[in-house]
Amino acid sequence: MLNYTDIERVVDEVVRSMRQPDAPVTPAVWAGLPPIQYGGACKARTAAENTARRQESAQFRAQHGLPPDETRLPDAGLPDAHDSAALARMIAQTPARIGVGRAGARLRTETLLRLRADHAAARDAVWTDVDDSLVEQLALFPIRTCCQSKAEFITRPDLGRVFSEDTLTALQQHCTRGIDVQLIVSDGLSSTAVSANAPRILPIVLAGLKEKGLSTGTPVFVKYGRVAAQDHIAQALDAAVVCSFIGERPGLATAESMSAYISYRAHPGMPESRRTVVSNIHRNGIPAVEAGAYLVDLIAHILEQKTSGVALVR
User: What are the extents of the domains in the chain?
Assistant: 4-127, 132-311
Fold for domain 132-311?
Rossmann fold (3.40.50)
Q: Which of 275, 280, 289 is nearest to 256 (CA)?
A: 280
The bridge status of strand 241-247 relative to strand 220-223 is: unpaired
Residue 171: predicted pLDDT: 97
The DSSP result for 89-140, as a single string, is HHHHT-SS--S---BTTB--HHHHHHHHHHHHHHHHHHHS---HHHHHHTT-
What's the pTM value of the predicted model, to 2 decimals? 0.74
Half-sphere exposure of 293 (CA within 13 A, CB side): 4
135-160: average pLDDT? 96
Mean residue pLDDT across the chain: 83
Instruction: State pLDDT tens for residues 158-194.
Output: 999 999 999 999 999 999 999 999 999 999 999 999 9
What would the mean pLDDT of 217-222 be, rounded to a whole number? 96
Which one, of 84, 76, 85, 79, lies nearest residue 110 by Cα?
76
% pLDDT > 70, the chain: 75
- Give residue 3's pLDDT: 58
Task: Tell me the CATH number for domain 4-127.
Answer: 1.10.30.40
Phi, psi values for residue 116, rounded to 5°: -70, -35
Q: What is the mean pLDDT of residues 84-96?
A: 84
Band the pLDDT of 102: cuts 50, 70, 90: confident
Helix (H, G, I), strand (E, B) or coil at 64: coil
Residue 208 burial (CB count, 10 A): 18
- Check: CB of residue 256 under 8 Å from CB of residue 246: no
Residue 211 has pLDDT above 70, yes or no: yes
Residue 270 has pLDDT above 80, yes or no: yes
Q: Is the pLDDT of residue 258 over 50?
A: yes
Q: What is the pLDDT of residue 137?
A: 95
- For residue 72, the model assigns a pLDDT of 44
For residue range 4-58, list pLDDT tens digits in order: 566 666 666 666 665 565 555 444 544 444 443 323 333 333 345 455 556 666 6
* CA-closest candidate to residue 12, choices 100, 4, 81, 99: 4
- pLDDT attached to residue 34: 46
Residues 6+ positions from 240 with CB-CB distance below 8 Å: 179, 180, 181, 264, 265, 303
